[in-house]
Amino acid sequence: MQLQNLFSASENAMQKTIEKVKHELASVRTGRASSSIVEGIKVESYGSLLPINQVAGVSVPDAKTIEIRPWDISQLGAIEKAIIKADIGITPVNDGKVVRISVPPLTEERRKEIAKSIGKTAEEYRVAVRNERRILVDGIKKAEKDKVITEDDRKKDEAEAQKLTDGYIKKIDELIAQKEKEIMQI
């Protein structure tokens, strides 16, 4: 039964890796406005750092604009400063009531750079999934050594671990391919 726990723990860790991939890809700029571009920005507000969505409403009125409407107008300057400090490559415009961010279209060269960087990121996550497989296989080998399972069971379990790993690596590849397609579209 301990082996089942090992498989379960490995699958949970691999699933968390997939969630991290999704989260990281959501913050990658594609030339289209998305609230995820500003999601991670912290604003100094009333003496503490707060996520931007806790001091303002973030909306995307069209494909090229992000609007940030503060709950308290006095926070406009702090929001603008936080966006500039975050260095997202876009300059905010403060009109006295709302901070607007116009998302410029990406150049072909920039699209290729982003796609390349996503490829590097994908490899890091593939390695994380493979490390989980290694931990699982080590546990399987230990179970055989401790005479908990037979050699045939070890081989079957190792094949199952590989199958699980391949499935999660395929999910990473699909997510990356989808994001690269999105980036390369004009």
Q: Are residues 118 and 181 in the same domain?
A: yes
Chain segment 7-39, per-residue pLDDT in tens: 899 999 999 999 998 888 876 766 677 777 787
pLDDT of 31: 66
Q: Are residues 98 and 119 in the same domain?
A: no
**61's tokens:** 């009125």
Q: Are residues 22 and 41 in the same domain?
A: no
Q: How many domains does the chain have?
A: 2
Q: Cβ of 159: how many Cβ atoms within 10 Å?
A: 10
pLDDT of 113: 81
Q: Are residues 81 and 144 in the same domain?
A: no
Q: Cβ of 3: how many Cβ atoms within 10 Å?
A: 18
User: Would you write out the chain's pLDDT as a tens digit for each of its 186 residues?
Assistant: 477 888 899 999 999 999 998 888 876 766 677 777 787 788 888 888 888 888 888 888 887 888 888 888 888 888 888 888 877 777 888 888 888 888 877 778 877 888 888 888 889 999 999 999 999 999 999 988 988 888 898 999 999 999 999 999 999 999 999 888 887 775
d(CA 38, CA 52): 7
Q: Are residues 97 and 112 in the same domain?
A: no
DSSP state at residue 39: H
pLDDT of 186: 56
Domain that holds residue 156: 1-28+107-185
d(CA 65, CA 98): 12
d(CA 26, CA 118): 11
Considering the entire predicted model, what is its pTM? 0.66
Q: Are residues 120 and 94 in the same domain?
A: no
Boundary-marking domain end, from 71, 102, 133: 102
| CB-based contact 63:98 (threshold 8 Å) | no
Boundary-marking domain end, from 54, 82, 102: 102
pLDDT of 15: 93
Boundary-marking domain end, from 43, 67, 102: 102
pLDDT of 29: 64
